[in-house]
Amino acid sequence: MSQVMLPAKRFVVSSVSSDAHMWNLVFLQLLLEEQGAEVTNLGACVPDELIVEECRRTRPDVLVISTVNGHGHLDGLRLIRRIRSEPDLADLRVVIGGKLGVRGAENIVYAEELALSGFDAVFEADGGIDGFQEFLATLENADRPALTSGAAA
């Protein structure tokens, strides 16, 4: 890599409290690290409190919640309300993606409520990874210096 690496964006990647799936988190970490990010991966079944503590400790640029067990519309909602109720985390950029309900393609019905409740972006699994990649691209223009090593997966 010959490009100048600007200060990396920091991400916290996490599942929600009841979701034990792991491969989605392993994949996201690799995807983000390849694009120059620093990733703290909290793994599966993470209690809300631990996510809040970690975000407070590391002040990430983005908290990425990934969940595929179908409880995302329940656990994600509770989590984002908790995060937005903390004054120091009210501005934290938080996104959620995965299989958000147990209804397959109809899970999209949950996206609006999740977004209205405070997620900056909601990605249903059926939409593929492109939406998340586009979201990452918008971060380049955000207040922190842009990343220059952007090999898309």
Partner 1 sequence: MGFGDLATMREGLLGVRAADAAAVGTITLDSYTRVNDHDSARQALRTGAELNGFPLVAHGPVATRRLLGEVSGDGFPVQVRHGSALPYPLFEAMVAAGVDATEGGPVSYCLPYSRAPISEAVKAWARCCELIAAQPEPMHLESFGGCMLGQLCPPSLLVALSVLEALFFREHGLSDISLSYAQQTHPGQDLEAIAALRRLAGERLAGADWHVVLYTFMGVFPRTLVGSFRILEESVRLAVRSGSERLIVKTPAEAHRIPTIAENVDALEFADAIARDEAGRAARVSTPAAGSGSGAAHGSGAESGDEVRATDSGIYEEARMLVDSTLELAPTVGEALIRAFSRGHLDVPYCLHQDNANRSRAYVDPGGMLRWAEPGRMPLRVDRGGTARRPVSAKGLLGMLGFNERRFDREQLTHGHFTSRPSISARSAS
Q: Which residues bind partner 1 (CB under 8 A)?
A: 17-20, 22-23, 25-27, 30-31, 34, 41, 43-47, 50, 69-71, 74, 99, 101-105, 153
φ, ψ at 8 (rounded to 5°): -70, 150
Q: Strands 10-14, 121-124: parallel, antiparallel or unpaired by DSSP?
A: unpaired
Smallest distance, Å, CB 140 to partner 1?
Answer: 18
Question: Which of 53, 88 has the CB closer to partner 1?
Answer: 53
Smallest distance, Å, CB 91 to partner 1?
Answer: 27
Question: Which of 25, 139 has the CB closer to partner 1?
Answer: 25
Q: Are 14 and 65 in contact (CB under 8 A)?
A: yes
Question: Which of 88, 130 has the CB closer to partner 1?
Answer: 130
Smallest distance, Å, CB 53 to partner 1?
Answer: 13
Question: Which of 52, 143 has the CB closer to partner 1?
Answer: 52
Q: How many Cα atoms sit within 13 Å of 139 on the Cβ side? A: 27
Helix spans in the chain (H):
23-34, 48-58, 72-84, 111-116, 130-139
